[in-house]
Amino acid sequence: MMYKSSRGYSEQYSFSDAVLTGIAPDGGLFVPVEFPKFSADDLNRFCNMSYCELASEIFSAFADDFTKEELDACVKNAYADGSFPDEPTPLSVLSNTLSVLELWHGPTSAFKDMALQILPEFMSVAIKKSKKHNKIAILTATSGDTGKAALAGFKDAENVKILVFYPAEGVSEMQKTQMITQEGGNLSVVAVRGNFDDAQTGVKNIFGDKEFAELLKERGYTLSSANSINIGRLLPQVVYYYYAYFALVKNGKLNLGDKINFAVPTGNFGNILACYYAAKTGLPVNRIVCATNDNNVVSDFLTTGVYSSNRPFILTISPAMDILISSNLERLLYDVSGEDSDLVSRLQQDLKANGVYSVDKELSDNIGKYFWSSTSNQNECRKTIKSIHQEFNYLVDPHTAVGIDVYDKYVISTGDTTPAVAVSTASPFKFNKTVAESLFGEDSVENKNEFEILEELSEKTGWEIPVPLRDLDKKPVLHKRICNVSDMKNEVDEFLQ
């Protein structure tokens, strides 16, 4: 199985090289040259597998330059080394038609762990196979969640170092504490004076600095990124859609072969694209419900065929979905246009030049066969957190609430009662302030810090605080560096001496 660029670059890449390279030389995203297709017999065989067995089966179809032993080891190190419970992605059944797939039982209590726990394993094996790279340095600018998940994943990975920049103003107390207490011998965390855009631009400039790249190359390092356009982050997300389906079969809500719906809270379109890839490789999916918050650029595109990022950026209570450029959409466009790389290149150029592109009706209709989309605003989101708690005695974080609210809108709009799974992307405790406010009113959190609110939420609901978030404020601070945007390159230089 080889990988190629969504923008037509001629060379094909092995899985190893695609993972290490991150983005194709023409700026396109790596996509499989041909998708594997699992048969009814395969599904039958997969149905009773453990999460690790299933993951290894699915990866072997996508990463055929890895041996089965290598894949088994990657999977075991990621999901069965104590960083997840025995059941990594539990399914909570709320009703006959709606279940919730909890993807937040990893080391940082959010779903990015599902991919970022295994990406470093893939990279370590890939480096040994690759003739192009020998040591990798991961640089990441984070608005909060990705940074911690990347640090936890890459901690002590062989032949990999990681440096995370976060905006000194602009991450929550909890997120900051999670990062600056991170242990590990191959990593560093640095605050940047400025906001997320400043940090992000600083990192992009370092990636674009050819002279600096040469200098690092002499030291044996290739710069790479851990963001969600890496194919090695996308594939691990395909696994849990299969796993959720089989969980519903096992508990009698579905017969093998029946169709299922998924609802996915969407930002950069990575998680939901993995659902589409699951459908494409043989999972019986009826509809994929794409849920957006007030930054509803993707939802507008899926319903009108016009993508326009020319709109105000709104800071919301579901910050991981606050995004106006949704990178992984490019892979969907490539696929639904019949792999038209000229079209994809043109659309991405339009986006870059004018902040907008549009597709014709045929393509738009094609997308509509798979996807349905709508928005949940902040008020609706808070109401959903509260109503889910009242109705089911179940706690959801704001991102998950957006997904469930939009799923409800889907059912009202279409009458479709196909059994559905809503994907839960973060622990309610990770966004405890919003959850507590929604359940108990604004007064309940007044004058309390995030750690006090954790305790309060736990006491009032009887839910346990996840281990990774417990006692965080008592851990020693290990990373105290702070720099100006103009010094970021020096920080990298020093870190990679």
Ligand X SMILES: *Cc1c(COP(=O)(O)O)cnc(C)c1O
> What are the residue numbers of the active site?
112
Task: Give me the half-sphere count of Cα atoms (radius 13 Å) on the Cβ side of residue 273.
Answer: 26
| Contact status: 157 vs ligand X (CB under 6 A) | no
| Contact status: 203 vs ligand X (CB under 6 A) | no
DSSP 465: P
| Contact status: 305 vs ligand X (CB under 6 A) | no
Instruction: Identify the sign of the CA torsion 21, 27, 32, 34.
Output: negative
| Contact status: 384 vs ligand X (CB under 6 A) | no
Binding span for ligand X by CB under 6 A among 210-218, 267-275, 353-361, 445-453:
267-275
Tell which one of 267, 419, 466, 468 touches ligand X (CB under 6 A).
267
In terms of CB distance, is 236 or 267 closer to ligand X?
Answer: 267
In sequence order, the 6+-apart residues with CB closer than 8 A to the CB of 239 are: 51, 54, 55, 58, 59
Other C-beta atoms lying within 10 Å of the C-beta of residue 460: 12
- Minimum distance of ligand X from residue 118's CB (angstroms): 15
The CA distance from 333 to 347, in Å, is: 9
Window 236 to 265, contacts with ligand X (CB under 6 A): 265
Binding span for ligand X by CB under 6 A among 78-86, 239-247, 268-276, 334-342:
268-276
DSSP 464: P
Tell which one of 147, 270, 466, 468 touches ligand X (CB under 6 A).
270
| Contact status: 331 vs ligand X (CB under 6 A) | no
In terms of CB distance, is 272 or 388 closer to ligand X?
Answer: 272
| Contact status: 269 vs ligand X (CB under 6 A) | yes
Tokens 């990999």 sit on residue: 160
The CA distance from 268 to 249, in Å, is: 30
Q: In this structure, are strands 91-93 and 98-102 parallel, antiparallel, or unpaired?
A: antiparallel
In terms of CB distance, is 78 or 321 closer to ligand X?
Answer: 321
- Minimum distance of ligand X from residue 117's CB (angstroms): 14
| Contact status: 380 vs ligand X (CB under 6 A) | no
Q: Is 228 helix (H, G, I), strand (E, B) or coil?
A: coil
| Contact status: 321 vs ligand X (CB under 6 A) | yes
The CA distance from 18 to 29, in Å, is: 9
The CA distance from 426 to 178, in Å, is: 15
| Contact status: 112 vs ligand X (CB under 6 A) | yes
The CA distance from 453 to 447, in Å, is: 10
Tokens 């992009």 sit on residue: 204
- Minimum distance of ligand X from residue 172's CB (angstroms): 13
- Minimum distance of ligand X from residue 234's CB (angstroms): 9
Residues lying near ligand X in the complex (CB under 6 A) are found at 110-112, 145, 228, 265-272, 320-321, 399, 425-426
